[in-house]
Every structure is written in C-alpha cells, then in structure tokens.
Amino acid sequence: MERIQKIIAASGAASRRTAEEWILQGRVKVNGETISRPSHPVEPSDRIEIDGRPLPAPEEKVYFLLNKPAGVVTTTADDKNRKTVVDLIDTDKRIFPVGRLDYDTTGALILTNDGDFMNALIHPRHHVEKEYSVKVEGLLRKEESARIGRGLDVEDFHTLPCRILSVRYDQAKTSTSLKIIIEEGKYHQIKRMFEIVGHPVIKLSRIRFGTLTCEGLSPGEYRRLKPHEIKQLWNLSRFGNPER
C-alpha cells in the first residue's frame, strides 16, 4: 500500500504539493469514490482518476550525470532566458537538478525526475560528500585552512567540519589551489567560507559528488547513471560516508 499523494507524484502528473491540492479539492477518485486525504492508501490494482481521467502509468525514472560548464544556470527555467542545465540534456522527462552549482561553477551535477532520490541526496543530515577543486586569491595560511576545517560562522549559519587537502601555491605566489570536501550544500557555501577568511574564490569546480566523478566527460557532456551507481548513492544517503 502507498499513499495516493505519492502515487500521483510518481506518475509524473503533478508534484506532491499539487497532488495534495487536487485531493483536497475533491478532484481525485479511487475505484469511483472521491477521496479527501493525501494519505489515503492505494494498492497497485486500484483505479485512480483525476477529473474523471485515468492516472497515467508511472513515469520511468531517469538519472543523469552532467559535467556542468560555466555560463549555465542550475534551474529548470530561468526568468532571464539564460541557458539552463536542463537544456543541455536530451530527454522528454521532467528532470530537475540535485542541489545547485553557481552560474560560473563547473563540474559534477546529477539530474533526475526521482524526487525521493533528490531529497535523500541533498538532506543535510545524510552527509553525502562533495569534493571541490578551488583556486583562491592570495596565499592561504595553515591557520586559515584550519579555521575553515573546524567549521566557521558564515552569516546565518555555522558550517560543519570539513577537510582541505592538496594545498599548492601558484608560481607567482598570488593564489592558492586546493581541494575541499564538504558534506553540506548551503547557498554559495564555498565562496562564502573562503571570503570570510579573506581569500575570495577565483575558480570553482565540483570534482566529486558522493561516489561520482566527471571522469570521461568534457564540460557540457553528460551520461546516464548505471544501476550500481544509483544504488551506491542511495546507500550513501542512508548510511553516510563509511569513513566517518
């Protein structure tokens, strides 16, 4: 048995919220009877109708990994008519990005039409690792990187502890390149963390999302996830990083 609201959303006919509205408006029938609760249980054999029309069969779930190029917005539709990450993927499914990368940030981005999968991966309690390659202005000192590593106040929130590795200074000693592994994904998080310690970000790329890297994908290219990769990501979201 599943909740009617979930079944309607899984069919691709509407989001969960819209499905709830339809139910409360009395537009949904199960086996000919109007139902009124979004939690109404249904079985696979039940006949579901919306406004008198049968509910379409569940939409096939699709999962893509995109190597996001710079100059593309991470959204499904942009009010300024800029190119979006969804425009780069050839599919007739209603996909959406899992989390977001800034306009100028490149790298690993998952897109899917599976809302449960997306919610599991972006839930802050689930600690899915995201690894970024970062170039910042100036020479990042040990104390500064330790401060970021311990977690610091970034305006409205305190960041979780994270790891900084592979720190290198460029030849002219005007910038620092490094890798950072974080387990959350607040708005402009990396840029704000480095800004606070006085080293604005020059370049940012996500080189790993959980178990996935963009190996073999040039910027703008994408591929479908393999079934074992989808399973690994589900496991990561359930059990977190086994090394923690």
Active site members: 102
CB of 105 to ligand URA, least distance (A): 3
Kindly tell me which of 38 and 97 has the beta carbon lying closer to ligand URA: 97
CB of 232 to ligand URA, least distance (A): 22
CB of 102 to ligand URA, least distance (A): 4
Kindly tell me which of 157 and 239 has the beta carbon lying closer to ligand URA: 157
Kindly tell me which of 147 and 186 has the beta carbon lying closer to ligand URA: 186
Binding site for ligand URA (CB under 6 A): 101-102, 105, 188-191, 204
| Positive or negative torsion for Cα 27, 28, 33, 39 | negative
> Quick count: other Cβ atoms within 10 Å of Cβ 190?
23
CB of 120 to ligand URA, least distance (A): 19
CB of 38 to ligand URA, least distance (A): 34
Kindly tell me which of 12 and 220 has the beta carbon lying closer to ligand URA: 220
What is the 3 state secondary structure string of the chain?
A: CEEHHHHHHHCCCCCHHHHHHHHHCCCEEECCEECCCCCCEECCCCCEEECCEECCCCCCCCEEEEEECCCCECCCCCCCCCCEHHHHCCCCCCCEECCCCCCCCEEEEEEECCHHHHHHHHCHHHCCCEEEEEEEECCCCHHHHHHHHHCCEECCEECCCCEEEEEEECCCCCEEEEEEEECCCCCCHHHHHHHHCCCCEEEEEEEEECCECCCCCCCCCEEECCHHHHHHHHHHHHHCCCCC
Kindly tell me which of 26 and 71 has the beta carbon lying closer to ligand URA: 71
What count of residues does the chain have?
Answer: 244
